[in-house]
A = this chain, B = another copy of it.
């Protein structure tokens, strides 16, 4: 299954239809109609319904991660990078209606368990963004010399937790205040001195 243009069209169509009907209620004909072809032709590009679904989500998640990575790379300072990462990676979803709908219908996409994580490799990449910022901050003497591996996992877990609270469970707007207060608290715990 090469990532050709046609494949991308199918993935986009699939994301839209899955967002509207959910995995179970979506038929391959729905996807085919949205993509402007017959359902049998879909099988020329993808292996099956479940694979199509996971592939469409995977695609969206990778775009998310990459746009955060790009935003981070525009900053020099480790503290600034941390702030951009925290806000950007959290708010990104509010602009992605389709992915959000899918998340609500399929809460298992975000899990607190590594074993259950269907998108582990992608999340590994996201954790690498955190880890690099920690390493930079430590080597520049701005952060305490924390246990980088465990702190990275800790921060990533909190991030996932907030995504679930905000976009899956749809808690009130107080979640945003909590997120700000929490990241400020943690950044204070990381930094050696206040300037």
- A interface residue numbers (CB < 8 A to B): 111-116, 144, 146-147, 150-151, 153-154, 157-158, 161, 164-165, 169, 171, 174, 177-178, 181-182, 185-190
When distances are taken between beta carbons in the complex, the residues of chain B under 8 Å from A111 are 169
Q: When chains A and B are docked, how far (Å) is the Cα of A171 from the Cα of B181?
A: 28
Q: A189 contacts which chain B residues (CB < 8 A)?
A: 185-190
User: Given that A147-B177, A161-B161, A177-B147 are contacting pairs, would A185 and B154 also be in contact in the complex, using a CB cutoff of 8 Å?
Assistant: yes
**A113 and B171 form a contact (CB under 8 A):** yes
Write out the residue numbers on chain B whose beta carbons fall within 8 Å of the beta carbon of A115: 169, 171
| Docked pose: A158 CA to B112 CA in angstroms | 11
Cα A186 to Cα B158 with chains together (Å): 12
A47 to B40, CA, bound (A): 56
Given contacts A157-B165, A178-B154, contact A146 B113 (CB under 8 A): no
